[in-house]
Structure 1
Amino acid sequence: MFSTPAQVLRQREGALAETPFALLLHALSVEERTCTLELKVRQREKRITFEDGAPVASSSNLLHETLGKFLVDKGKLSETDYQKTLAESVSTEVPLGGLVVQKGLISPFDLYKQMQANMAMTLLDCFRWTDARYRLIADIEPPDTSVRMNTAQLILTGITNVMPFDEVATHFTFTDDRRFAQVPDIEGPKLSAKDARLFQALRFRPTFPELMQRSGMDTDSTLRRLYAFCLLGLADFVEEVDARRPASAGPVAVPFMPPGPALTPLPGTLETVEARPTGIPFSDEDEAVKNELLSVFLSHRSQDPFDLLGVPENVQPVALRKAFLALADKFSPLRFHSADLKEKAEGLLTAYARAYGALTEVEQAALWRKRRQAAREKKVNTGRPSTAEQFRIRTDLLDASTQFDEAMKRLKAENFAGAFEYFEYACDIDPKPLYRAHRAWARYLMKPESHGKLALQELQDVLKQEPGCEEGWFFLGEVSRGEGQWAQAEDAYRKAFKINPKNRQYVDLVQETMKRVKR
């Protein structure tokens, strides 16, 4: 059905139009590759770092995807605090995330969750970069942070919610008489109620039309989920599933998965619900301990063995051993119950053990001392770029709101082609419903006689995603009226008025279109 992971990764570069981002993610995960994936399309760029097949870091030249702007957008940081912290981060070379924790602006636990969500947003956005070029780079610099994503969850969410439907239909083709089935004994991502309902329908080995009927979903929703399940190896054509089973095997036992309440799992989170043993003093409920664990976990990758264990360069064996044992006990995995916290404690314990092992070996300890001395000399001898220069680089980040503001100026001046161009830039950077609605409106105003149907389709797509977009309903009403679809125009104006009843213009528009409908 799909190329094997080894075949996908045989080429070091290519186009996402031919090798979709989801297929690349899956191949890197299965092959457990450690590398950097570089994506470029027009003026946009992203770099994603993988360790053993899992995304662990990402960067882009899109302003809204930087951690600071993301925290502002999520209401976790004020714009004033962001600007002050950013200036301090530039001048001191301390990461912004570390500074906001130091200043008490956000807890380490919350910061980790927001970093995880920020990275998920950055990676999910790649599913719409269907015209991008990609390149795999073998040499990587280990990331400073310790965020790690769940690739399977990322693929399911990206295909289901972000990847353009045309791309899904292009890369996932079959005839209506082909039957699909669950692949037994494959561990997959967490499923929402909707996903689980479709997955359970695969027990009956249906054709695609039968799968839609059993799941109660439309073509779009069914095809997206089936594509994701097949790519992840959870489903396949019936004949392929049967060919994998031994000839003597009996019927496939399929575990029952109750749908339960609707879920929107975040890629990268691993939460399990299990019976909690009694009599053990777990630290999960202690906010101070939990935040300290996350604070240390977030920064441990950027520290050398001396800093990690908190010992001086001339540390003696007894003191080194005491430092290691104290830290190993303080964040012992046995002190935590939840899988998420236990996993982080285990990661720290491994890092402490490696650091201790390095410093107990004379040659390794001497090497680390030389590295520290070289770093100190480099810092003294190499002039750091001025604050102004570093801020200049920051302002080169692509900012969707700046493009949108310029587009609005051109729209007001009735420069519709120029407005469309800048709305297009804004949508390229950040495809918010508001930006997409204005892009459709500018497209219509450029050539009302030929762009009407396309603008209507674009506006309907926007409103399907964001029914609360007032401007979208107003533009839909205006374009519908221009196309002579008066009933649709009346309905759109009514919905715009419902969202903003203070705008009396909608009342006049509704009355006008009602008269047209009655004629």
Structure 2
Amino acid sequence: MQEDWSEDSLEMPLTGNLREYSLPRILLEIKRKGVTGTLSLTSPPVTKKIYFDKGAPVFASSASDGDRFGEMLVRAGKITTQQHEKSLALLKTTGKRYGEILVALGYITPKELVGSAKYQVMEIMYSCFQLDDGIYEFQEEVLSSQEITLTISMEKLIYEGIKRLERKAAVQKDMPHPDMVFKPNDAYGIPRRNGGGFLDLNAEDSRILSLVDGERTVRQVTEEAHADSFEAMKTLYGLAFVGVIVQKGTAKKSAEAGDPAGAAGDESCMESEKTPSLSEVHNDLVKRVEDLYQQLKSMGPDELLQVDKRTELPEIKRSYYRLVKEFHPDRVYHIDDNELKYKITAIFDTITKAYKLFLDEVKRREYFDSLGKPSKPHSWKEPDRPPENVTREILLKEMFQRGMEEFKKGNFWGAVDLFKRVTSEDPQSARAWNYLSLALSKVPNKLKESEETLLKAVALDPSNSEYLTNLGLIYLKAGLKLRAKKQFEKALRLDPDDMQAKKGLQEIG
């Protein structure tokens, strides 16, 4: 469900499902209430916690192996794998704390230890934004004293967390519609030339903010910024969420002076005649999909693309790009309506088929020459319709297959996006989690997420030796030989003929 940017309501239960309430909304609610306690986020088998003092985030912890202090230091290049393993060995024999051992061995200084510990806490907090499926629970309680506490504004945490989102669907389900118009929030009193002030915007984000003028739509801002569209949308989503920009109207002052979250929540005087509401946008899209779907069986490719014999190829391309942008299946991915998804996918496939026909100059000429004759060489009929109970299964299967194709082509980012969609729709598919992990392992700096993802596959199917072997390979790639060995040995107990596991053990020596 998309965020209603005109609705002044952050009230929500402090226990629920992350599919229903996004983490940014939960964090704003905690700040608004000014409560002290612990927010637990559980997406099996991972549990992470963020601790709050009077509504401000001060600490974080994680049960994930990938979030451990030593492994974070290795990934950050602060220490080597060999130094990490030596420190772990001393940890077991001396009983000293890991950080103390690092300082005693001269691997890092006491000052670096404090800075690295804060870095670990921040990284755990930011990693929580990647959890968009699972259970959240806030428990009010007196916090125990922590040696490392942070001083960070909730708005900065939310904005940076949103900017680190990797899955498009996680942004699409909440972000403003491309046709909406935003303006700078006058309630801030922050000069435009200072960018986002406390948010420490980089040059690219500042440029995007400078284009928000109360006239340009979200789509126009994204296009004129000449930035990656996904990154630009995350920037606008983050700026709107923390209140730096507001939907065009009359922004009110926050109840708490200088509180951008409050300013965003109090936005109420909307110019509905200029900017469509989300419900209007959704209803309009559904109507256009229904209307065009009903006409598909009687339309020729020329009618679909709105071209004729005299239309040049550049114009055909423009028409195609306009239509696929309007009827792309991703526009309804977040909507729980398999019938709508089926229809828009059928439209998209038919548009693509027509475009491929007209890309070939010979076939295009043959088609137009055939018009007016007794029969057309290219007829368009309604796609065969699957039974209702298998529509979702077919869509997921097709999406998984597309992910496999992208993976084989070496487009690992594309494969990651598709496999994440499959796991979002079918979180019980161990096979999908496994292939998502394989794709992530091919992307730089994604080993930690690859491990967490594969652990979900192992939890769903613990007797699958392939998953254990893949987990061992991830640990081996990270330089964690002891863990890798443990996984390879588990795999071989299940399947003594697993050649990859045997090879992994040989490499460890």
TM category, shorter: 0.3 to 0.5
Instruction: Give the TM-score of the pair, scaled to structure 2.
Output: 0.45
TM-score by length of 1: 0.45
